[in-house]
Amino acid sequence: MPEAISKVAISLKVNSKLHSVQVEPRTLLVELLREQLDLTGTHVGCDTTYCGACTVLMNGAAVKSCTVFAVQADGSEILTVEGLEKDGQLHPIQKAFGDAYGLQCGFCTPGLLLSTLQLLSRNEQPGDTEMRKAIAGNTCRCTGYQNILKAIQSAARNMKDA
104 is a site residue for ligand FES (CB under 6 A): yes
Q: Which is nearer to ligand FES, 61 or 105 (CB)?
A: 105
60 φ/ψ sector (left φ>0, alpha ψ -120 to 50, else beta): left
Q: Where are the beta strands (DSSP E) in the chain?
A: 8-14, 17-23, 55-58, 61-64, 77-79
Closest CA to 109 of 133, 145, 58: 145
49 is a site residue for ligand FES (CB under 6 A): yes
8 is a site residue for ligand FES (CB under 6 A): no
Q: Which residues, at least 6 apart from 51, have a Cβ–Cβ distance to it below 8 Å?
A: 45, 108, 111, 138, 139
CA-to-CA distance for 54 and 72, rounded, in angstroms? 16
Which window, 14-22, 38-46, 81-89, 153-161, contacts ligand FES (CB under 6 A)?
A: 38-46
146 is a site residue for ligand FES (CB under 6 A): no
Residues 113-142 that bind ligand FES (CB under 6 A): 140-142
64 is a site residue for ligand FES (CB under 6 A): yes
Which window, 4-12, 19-27, 90-98, 104-112, contacts ligand FES (CB under 6 A)?
A: 104-112
21 is a site residue for ligand FES (CB under 6 A): no
CA-to-CA distance for 44 and 95, rounded, in angstroms? 23
Among 41, 74, 99, 107, binds ligand FES (CB under 6 A): 107
DSSP-derived 3-state class of residue 2: coil
Rg (CA), the chain: 16
Among 15, 80, 115, 143, binds ligand FES (CB under 6 A): 143
Residue ranges binding ligand FES (CB under 6 A): 44-47, 49-54, 64, 66, 103-108, 140-143
